[in-house]
Structure 1
Amino acid sequence: MEKEKIVSIEDRIPKLKQARKKKANRRLIFYLSIFFFLIAIIVYLQSPLSHVKSIIVTGNSFYPEDEVIEQSGIAKGTNIWTINKEEIIQTLENDPLIKNAEVETKLPWTVEIHLIEHERVGYIKKENEYYPVLGNGTVLEESKIKRLSGDAPLLLSFSQEDVLVEMSKELSNLPSNILNIISEIHWTPTDKNKNDITLYMTDGFMVQSSIRNFSEKMKVYPSIASQLEPGSEGIIHIGVGAYFEPFNQEITEEEIISTDGDE
């Protein structure tokens, strides 16, 4: 057998030193990279590059963009990393006209505010002028108009604010295809039920119902109206059940239409 080659310690020392040096250099580069990265972040945070330069507002119809921005408290030049989204959202949603708000930051310097406003569900009349009513019952006193456009029903005799609020919330949950064919809604309370209402529809029918669960009950209206003879005149009662009552005629069994629902 050949004699094994023996490497002396003197031959290995230079290689060990070289390996240690490479390892130390890699460690130094790693720490320097972290150091300069942190320096870059500090410089960025202190520089105009991190300041808000663009504020975009979407979904606003009641307020102009500049009023929404002012209400949010965001200003150009604000450090984008100091913006408290939750606080801004809470501030905006405290406004009675705003149903939902979202705030989004987009680097390097853009802030987007997305709004969902309460929808107009009706009008009330005061001294020959009409005021829009929102889905939360808020009356827009500063948005009065002289003539109705037919885009929402006229709400009459709603003298109690809590009743108007409840009615408005029900209308906000009503499908638009049904809301658009309601011309007038009258609050007609009785000793038995303070929630009774009478509706006048654009197709000529009257409807008697109740505010409670109104949005659910009225979903059957198109089906009921489609079953009636053209030119029929009368009242459609929608409550526990539903039936049609012709004007000046007695109700027959054939005119009773059963539906599910509660008063």
Structure 2
Amino acid sequence: MSAAVVTAGAADRLSFTVFLALALHAIIVLGVTFGLEDPKPAPHTMEITLAQYDDGEKPEKADFLAQANQQGSGTVEEVSKLSTPVKAKQNDTVVRETEEVQREAASRPEPVVKKKTLVATEATSKKKTPLIENKKTEKPDPVKKPKRSLLARSMEIASLEAELQRQQREYSKRPKVTRFNAASAMKVVDAQYISLVKNKIERIGALNFPEEARSKLYGRPRLLIAIRSDGTLRDISVLQSSGNNVLDDKALKIVRMAAPFPPFPEEVLKERDELELIRTLQFKGE
């Protein structure tokens, strides 16, 4: 009787344990559900355009956000971002400061370029002679050349101006000379003075020309007579010979004997300092 009771109690405990295990498994299986995890919302971002300069004045209607105020410009009707058609040579996902990039570039060692020299070896002396040496060719500076040419041109202009001023000073010091010939049109006062000179030369020639020479010598020497303002004779020369040297010398002697002539009148002196007369002295043999 007691053995049957013990067997029944052990069977009940086993059944209860199995039931409890099944119940726990059912709860776990039915209670756990499988599903996709909800995607996390994207963080809120703000797009900022870098302004190249600061205008100071705030635009009435801004198209983009930037670190400074800047007025838009251009001919495109649609609003567009500032861009460049040239791509950067390096790819970098990190925004770096300019100073940092410069320091990084400066810290990199420069590559050492080895110079190559071609040599020729002689079989007899076994000495190596350099043929070509790699030397840095000095390129002409395009900026220095125009400077030198401009400097040379300015010095040349200054020299020409100085020469022109010197010539003007020398020309101003030169006497004002007027040359008259038989066909020249002249003022009345000039004509009167020239008539005085001509009459005096003819009078001196008539007084000092020998009678015997008149019958033997004849001709027409053409003379240039230069007279100063005080009436003195500056120069006399034969422009065209009469064909007889004796007659030419007689004509020169007559003019020298007629000098000095009367001084220039005031009206003549205002316009000239010297007179050059071209006159033909006519000698007629009888």
Give the TM-score normalised by structure 2: 0.22
- Structure with greater helix percent: 2
Q: Which structure is larger by alpha-carbon Rg, 1 or 2?
A: 2
- Structure with greater strand percent: 1
Larger RCO, structures 1/2 (Cα 8 Å, 6+ apart): 2
